[in-house]
Amino acid sequence: MVVVPIVAAYGLPIPKTSSRSITSPAGTADTMEVLANVNLGISQMQELVLKERGCLAWGGHMNLAPADDVMISVERPLNIDTPEQMVASILSKKISAGSTHLVIDIPVGPAAKVTSRPDAVRLRKLFEYVGGKLGLVMEVIITDGSQPIGNGIGPVLEARDVMKVLRREPDAPLDLREKSLMLAGMVLDFDPALPGKAGYARAKEILDSGQALASMEAIIDAQGRNLNPPRLGEMSFEVSATRTGVVQTIDCYAISQLAQTAGAPQSPGAGVDLFKKVGDAVKKGEPLYRVYSVFKSDFAFAKEMAKRGSGYVIG
């Protein structure tokens, strides 16, 4: 979500369409919906891209890939998300939206969707093979997915992180900022008018100058600003460290499952807010994260799940 306004502010058209979450606490469409309307038709999207150079919309409302929408409705309750379907889902929507150049990020980690580098390489080759057959210009990169990017997990919390980065707030998540700049820089490098590999530096200039924030605000207004945005759940509890030490690993899958049990993304205000990341020092009894819920039943289930383990390894 940070990449789109950076690229749009630069002047390249970037019609970003995405699915709602299938097996995670928030998809891009779920998060953007906290800020603005994402149910755009194709003609609306085209007008937006002509006017603002970018948009962040739910692909399902445009009927870009109707077969994929049916598949997702079946996969979501069964927790199914195969590599082949992932590639088909992503590329079908991009082609239908008119995209010609793509940057695909494959995070790898013990609890990420892709758990090993060999699997990531196979997925990259699958993206490159299918994308090549479709005539797409693609950069597929493999990145570290050993811990969550940003502090929030869940629509409201993730939208908060995005806006903190765009507003250049002091407590904005640095990892989200840096990854966004890297990806935006790779997109800008597609422009033959940009000399060398100057994309990252240009993306940083756009973000630090406030141009990206202005672009995001314009996109939000053009799509239809959410005048009554969902709030964080009023029920919350903290999970604390059981020993003093340094955070060695974070189980992304466990934290993701906890956020979903708490109600995300069906309840946008539910989720997990991380206070500690890998490499951070922590004292016994110090909070590692806070869990938010909207409904009492979700709150009770999440609290019971958290008792079985924090998802953190502290050494």
pTM over 0.75: yes
Contact status, residue 3 vs residue 102, Cβ threshold 8 Å: no
Q: At CA 48, angle to CA 45 and CA 54, rounded to 5?
A: 95
CATH 3.90.1170.30 fits 235-314, yes or no: yes
Q: Which residue has the tokens 């909207």?
A: 294
Which parts of the chain are beta strand (E)? Answer: 14-18, 54-58, 101-108, 137-144, 152-153, 235-240, 245-250, 271-274, 281-282, 287-293, 312-314
Strand-pair category, 152-153 with 271-274? antiparallel
Would you identify the CATH topology of the domain 3-223? Answer: Pyrimidine Nucleoside Phosphorylase; Chain A, domain 2 (3.40.1030)
Per-residue pLDDT of the chain (315 residues; tens, 9 = 90+): 999 999 999 999 998 888 777 667 888 999 999 999 999 988 898 899 999 999 999 877 666 666 666 666 655 555 556 888 889 888 987 888 788 999 999 999 887 778 899 999 999 999 999 999 999 999 999 999 989 999 999 999 999 999 999 999 999 999 999 999 999 999 999 999 998 889 999 999 999 999 999 999 999 999 999 999 999 999 999 999 999 999 999 999 899 999 999 999 999 999 999 999 999 999 999 999 999 999 999 999 999 999 999 999 999
Residues 80-107 have pLDDT tens digits of 568 888 898 889 878 887 889 999 999 9
Q: How far is residue 34's CA from residue 141's CA, in Å, rounded to a whole number?
A: 29
Domain boundaries, the chain: 3-223, 235-314
The residues that are catalytic are 81
Q: CA distances (Å), 252 to each of 59, 181, 210, in order?
A: 26, 23, 32
Q: Provide CB contacts within 8 A for 132, sequence distance 6+.
A: 138
Contact status, residue 288 vs residue 312, Cβ threshold 8 Å: yes
Main-chain phi, psi angles of 97, to 5 degrees: -80, -10
Of the chain, the end-to-end C-alpha distance in Å amounts to 34
3-state SS class at 222: helix
